[in-house]
Chains A and B, each alone.
Chain A
Amino acid sequence: MSETVSKDSTLRALGVALAVAFVCALLVSVVAVGLRPIHKANIEAERIAQLELVLAALSDIGRAQTIESLEARLVNLETGAFDESTDPATFDADRAASKPTTSVAIPAELDLAGLKRRALLAQVYLVRGGGNAIELIILPVSGRGYQSTLRAWLVLDGDARTVRALKFYQHGETPGVGARIEEPAWEAQWRDLPAYDDDGVLRIGVRSHGGGYSDDAQYQVDGISGATRTAQGVDGMLRFWLGDFGFASFLQRLREERL
């Protein structure tokens, strides 16, 4: 009987709980860290696969595009010029965004995407058509959603004004609610959506909170019921990346070159 008493003492309970917690934490950590390279490779493959899906869906390009046939370029986000000093193939965007020497802090009032820092350079893909004119501009965009970081491809028309597609390749939003951002019906809304008005003011966004009909209606898509925060995340993400601290100067340069 004395054994049962000692077994149920508070100290014993605390000791067993801590020991179990420690062993379990160790196990989970070792597995998570050990498998991280494979997870990263899977996500990278998913990233490429989603981009190829987008390109296949934009059938009016007239020919099948593979990732190899795209023109990968690095863009200096501040000047909007192409950066030739780094090889696009070796550029790691996540790494660049986290290192102080290759990234810049985003001023809080401009940080619509909740990213805190962004890399100085960004990798973009260009699809060129006849006469070497740019047909599609493919930009990587990311931002805070409801409970995860949303990562997507934003495909713009060669005019650098019209959205052709928005395809998410990584997120951890609630299945059945926020995760509907990757459903075809929702994605279809982004097809041929003007991002700017005639004066060149950025108007793109996601409607949420009812809102009703507004002047911005033609530049906006419907939000998702029950996923207000996710919709706001997508909205902020696009406004940030198409805004002054994102790709604005690069897109401006493309528009001028086109004229």
Chain B
Amino acid sequence: MQESKWRILSRPLVDDNPLTLQILGICSALAVTTSLDTALLMSFVVVCVLALGSGSVSLIRNHLPHSVRIIVQITIIASLVIVVDQVLQAYAFELSKRLSVFVGLIITNCIVLGRAEGYAMHNGFVASVLDGIGNGLGYSLILIVVGTIREFFGKGSLLNVQILIPTSQGGAFEPLHLMLLPPSAFFIIGGIIWFIRRKRPQQVEKPEFTLRQLQEESK
């Protein structure tokens, strides 16, 4: 039952999206999506870390003792994140200041460790890298959608280019300040999850508990 390479790459985009199906990595998704440019940079960084992390773990998976596997995975991921953070501070200084701690916090992003432990430990190098990139892109897709909505309705701009002129500058657009606050990302991500599950009902989870009254009524 070998999955095709294309399937490994595309499955995490919608069918098995780490954010909307597994509900992982929500914290950073709330924090970095106030504007599209930070969302794009964060996406890029997470794709890099996921691909390299899964790839490296896959390479040494046959030599990795079971007892220390998690700490070794975390060491690899942490090193990669530090390297990426250093590169960002050198070549994208302004943006890296705005991402502040959230680049460093990729270390604790459940998606990265989840793919290393859940996939790369049992699969070959190429498949693991593709799985890493796929999951990174799945995360990126949601980040970009949320970032676009929040920046457009919160500031009337995209990638810092003003599209709608706000009322403060004589235009007709009233910025929705809620969009710049973390709760708005919750609402948007919730909306996306609802939309995907409506289109793909197989993703809907069975309720673990039902109210007794409902059960009696249905009898």
Contacts and interface: CB of A to CB of B under 8 A. Distances in A.
A20 interface: yes
Interface stretch (B72-80, B159-167, B196-204): B72-80
A211 B82 CA distance: 41
Interface stretch (A27-35, A56-64, A98-106, A160-168): A27-35
B187 interface: no
Contacts of A16: 60, 63-65, 68, 72
Contact of A8 (B66, B82, B91): B66
A95 interface: no
B93 A17 contact: no
> How big is the B interface, by class?
20 to 34
Nearest to B93: A42
B176 interface: no
Contact of B72 (A8, A17, A27): A17
A67 interface: no
Contacts of B90: 35, 38-39, 42
B51 to A, nearest CB: 16
B108 interface: no
A70 interface: no
Contacts, number: 59
A7 interface: yes
B91 A38 contact: yes
A24 interface: yes
Nearest to A42: B93
Contacts of A20: 60, 72, 75-76
B65 A28 contact: no
Contacts of B211: none
Given A16-B65, A24-B79, A39 B72 contact: no
A21 interface: yes
Contacts of A175: 100-101
Interface string A192-211: 00000000000000000000
Contacts of B178: none
Interface of A: 7-9, 12-13, 16-17, 20-21, 24-25, 27-28, 31-32, 35, 38-39, 42, 45-46, 175, 179
25 contacts: A8-B66, A12-B65, A13-B65, A13-B68, A16-B60, A17-B68, A17-B72, A20-B60, A20-B75, A24-B76, A25-B79, A27-B79, A31-B82, A32-B82, A32-B86, A35-B86, A35-B87, A35-B90, A38-B91, A39-B86, A39-B89, A39-B90, A42-B89, A175-B100, A175-B101
